């Protein structure tokens, strides 16, 4: 691999690395229980939880590593971790 | 101005699932905003965010050596000043880089009074190289260079008081915070960046791999550190403590029990004297910083 001058890289190029493949447990978001507090989005170490136009929160499974922080911290217990079938 | 929506530390980085330092990077970049330049010392964050040719950073970012992030940041600050540029310089360095090997460069930079913000993400050991103790490792934590066993209860020395050392340099703004309190973290980083001169923010960032707990517990454990008084969130302006997070304190063992690095204090037999020594550290913190909320006992 040729190195760029200063080993520079395109900003955010890490997105090419789809860390969702690391996952063992998958967070399932129950929108019925959700109070839209946004805690899951704030605390996700991947920054992969997004709010859609209706204010609903969903993880981007391409990057979610299944760490379970969102499920433990959700005040409404709206997120459950399920063993992922692959 | 802080940007609350745009992620400047993006997905695809290779931190362990549940990594406290990765969350710290996300929050700090949010507070710093896009007109900032980051400097990282060698360590977990540098490694997991920038395996060439990938980078999770969407702000200009430079890797220094393990020991000289403060010197590299000093040079950038001097150059920008000369050019009349206004970008903010933020250092993101581990506790090993900060408390130990970087000390000379940090002391020099704070003495010269460069306008930058030094963030230490404190995971309390050298994690990137396999969990060796640092000056930030707490008393009795087992690491690969302070292993608990027949002859030892783990790390023998107390955690170094780095914020006090930098306050003694005349730093106008020094604060401690934790990933468990994102609003506090964002506010302190914004304030540190807005303060002219060298400022320091130390962020408690639990490490599931190095401390030995499940990644889902990262925030819960960071909260317990504060609730037991083993970590204190405070703010120092011109060397005076101006703000402290108060708590209804829990016994330290509630924190210790959650992590394998302290397992030897409970198994094979409970080490009451050692647990009492750690409780004494929390009690001393509580007194020094005045963190206790006194509950009125109802009869
Ligand atoms: C001069 C020098 N000595 C040793 C190393 C090897 N090394 C790389 S990272 C690291 C530890 C980093 O610890 P810390 O700053 O706490 O960051 P963490 O990995 O815990 O996030 C060490 C010892 C190095 N890169 N340079
Ligand atoms: S933390 Fe829970 S309640 Fe809050 S937005 Fe996320 S899913 Fe909804
Ligand atoms: S499981 Fe972890 S990585 Fe996945 S969305 Fe929740 S907090 Fe983010
Ligand atoms: S070893 Fe610790 S600090 Fe390093 S990436 Fe893993 S969880 Fe984060
Ligand atoms: Mg460290």
pLDDT digits (tens, 9 = 90+) for A6-32: 899 999 999 999 999 999 999 999 999
Take atom 7 of ligand 1 and give the residue whose Cα is closest.
B129
Atom of ligand 2 nearest to the CA of A29: 7
The per-residue DSSP string of B226-293 comes to HHTTSS--EEEETTEEEEE--B-PPPTHHHHTT-GGGGGGTSSS--HHHHHHHHHHHHHHHHHHT-BP
Query: Does the distance separating the beta carbons of B10 and A4 come in below 8 Å?
Result: no
Instruction: Please tell me the number of the ligand nearest to residue A32's CA.
Output: 2
Beta strands in chain B (DSSP E): 36-40, 61-63, 88-94, 117-122, 148-149, 152-153, 173-178, 199-204, 234-237, 240-244
pLDDT digits (tens, 9 = 90+) for B74-124: 999 999 999 999 999 999 999 999 999 999 999 999 999 999 999 999 999
Distance of CA B177 to the CA centre of its chain: 8
Residue B293, class by beta-carbon neighbours within 10 Å (0-12 exposed, 13-18 middle, 19+ buried)?
exposed
Instruction: Please list the alpha-helical segments (H only) found in chain A.
Output: 39-43, 69-73
Count of residues in chain A: 86
Is B47 close to ligand 4, i.e. is its CB under 6 Å away? no
For residue B276, tell me if it sits in a domain. Answer: yes
Atom of ligand 1 nearest to the CA of B67: 1
How near does any CA of chain A get to the CA of B87, in Å? 17
Is residue B59 less than 8 Å (CB to CB) from chain A? yes
Planar angle of CA B290, B20, B31, nearest 5 degrees: 75
CA–CA gap between residue B22 and residue B128 (Å, rounded):
13
Our CA dihedral for B94, B121, A24, B259, rounded to 10 degrees, sits at: 90
Contact by Cβ (8 Å): B46, B68 = no
CA–CA gap between residue A37 and residue B276 (Å, rounded):
39
Architecture of domain A18-83: 2-Layer Sandwich (3.30)
Query: Does the distance separating the beta carbons of B57 and A15 come in below 8 Å?
Result: no
Contact by Cβ (8 Å): B134, B123 = no
pTM: 0.97
CA–CA gap between residue B284 and residue B47 (Å, rounded):
36
Domain count across chain B: 1
CATH of the domain at B31: 3.40.50.970
Tell me which chain A residue has its CA closest to the CA of residue B50.
A14
Coil vs helix vs strand at B210: helix
Mutate to test the interface with A, among B7, B12, B57 (most CBs of A within 10 A): B12
* Domain carrying residue B105: 20-289
pLDDT digits (tens, 9 = 90+) for A25-55: 999 999 999 999 999 999 999 999 999 999 9
Closest CA to A66 of B164, B16, B51: B16
Going from the Cα of B194 to the center of ligand 2, the distance in angstroms, rounded, reads 32
Going from the Cα of A54 to the center of ligand 1, the distance in angstroms, rounded, reads 44
For residue B90, tell me if it sits in a domain. Answer: yes
Instruction: Please tell me the number of the ligand nearest to residue B145's CA.
Output: 1
Query: Does the distance separating the beta carbons of A11 and B58 come in below 8 Å?
Result: yes
For residue B274, tell me if it sits in a domain. Answer: yes
Is residue A3 less than 8 Å (CB to CB) from chain B? yes
> Sign of the CA dihedral B275, B276, B277, B281?
positive
Peptide bond into A11 cis (omega under 30): no
CA–CA gap between residue A41 and residue A62 (Å, rounded):
15
CA–CA gap between residue B65 and residue B34 (Å, rounded):
24
pLDDT recorded at residue A46:
98
For residue B187, what is the enclosing H or E element? helix B182-194
Q: For each of chain B's 299 residues, which pLDDT tens digit applies?
A: 444 457 999 999 999 999 999 999 999 999 999 999 999 999 999 999 999 999 999 999 999 999 999 999 999 999 999 999 999 999 999 999 999 999 999 999 999 999 999 999 999 999 999 999 999 999 999 999 999 999 999 999 999 999 999 999 999 999 999 999 999 999 999 999 999 999 999 999 999 999 999 999 999 999 999 999 999 999 999 999 999 999 999 999 999 999 999 999 999 999 999 999 999 999 999 999 999 998 876 64
For residue B12, tell me if it sits in a domain. Answer: no
Query: Does the distance separating the beta carbons of B11 and A19 come in below 8 Å?
Result: yes
Domain boundaries, chain A: 18-83
Instruction: Give the side-chain half-sphere CA count within 13 A for B63.
Output: 18
């Amino acid at each position: 691999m040729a190195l760029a001058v200063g080993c520079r890289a395109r900003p955010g190029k890490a997105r090419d690395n789809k860390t969702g493949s690391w996952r063992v447990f998958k967070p399932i978001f129950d929108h019925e229980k959700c109070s839209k507090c946004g805690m899951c989005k704030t605390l996700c170490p991947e920054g992969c939880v997004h709010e859609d136009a209706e204010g609903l929160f969903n993880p981007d499974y391409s990057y979610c590593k299944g760490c379970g922080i969102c499920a433990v911290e959700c005040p409404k217990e709206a997120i459950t971790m399920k063993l992922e079938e692959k | 101005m802080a940007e609350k929506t745009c992620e400047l530390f993006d997905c695809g980085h290779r931190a362990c699932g549940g990594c406290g330092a990765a969350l710290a990077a996300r929050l700090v970049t949010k507070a710093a905003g896009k007109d900032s330049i980051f400097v990282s010392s060698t360590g977990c964050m540098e490694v997991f965010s920038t395996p060439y040719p990938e980078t999770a950073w969407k702000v200009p970012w430079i890797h220094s050596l393990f020991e000289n992030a403060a010197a590299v940041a000093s040079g950038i600050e001097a150059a920008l000043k000369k050019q009349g540029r206004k970008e903010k310089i933020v250092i993101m360095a581990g506790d090993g880089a900060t408390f130990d090997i970087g000390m000379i460069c940090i002391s020099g930079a704070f003495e010269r009074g460069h306008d930058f913000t030094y963030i230490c993400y404190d995971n309390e050991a050298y994690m990137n190289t396999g969990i060796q103790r640092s000056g930030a490792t707490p008393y009795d934590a087992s690491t690969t260079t302070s292993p608990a066993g027949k002859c030892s209860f783990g790390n023998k020395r107390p955690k170094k008081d780095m914020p006090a050392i930098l306050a003694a340099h005349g730093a106008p703004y020094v604060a401690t915070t934790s990933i468990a309190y994102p609003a506090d973290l964002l506010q302190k980083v914004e304030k540190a960046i807005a303060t002219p001169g060298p400022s320091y923010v130390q962020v408690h960032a639990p490490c599931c791999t190095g401390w030995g707990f499940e990644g889902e517990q990262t925030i819960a454990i960071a909260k317990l550190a504060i609730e037991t008084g083993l970590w204190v969130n405070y703010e120092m302006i011109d060397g005076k403590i101006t703000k402290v997070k108060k708590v209804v304190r829990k016994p330290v063992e509630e924190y210790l029990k959650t992590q394998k690095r302290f397992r030897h204090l409970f198994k094979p037999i409970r080490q009451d004297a050692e647990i009492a020594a750690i409780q004494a550290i929390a009690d001393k913190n509580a007194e020094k910083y005045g963190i206790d909320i006194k509950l009125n006992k109802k009869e």
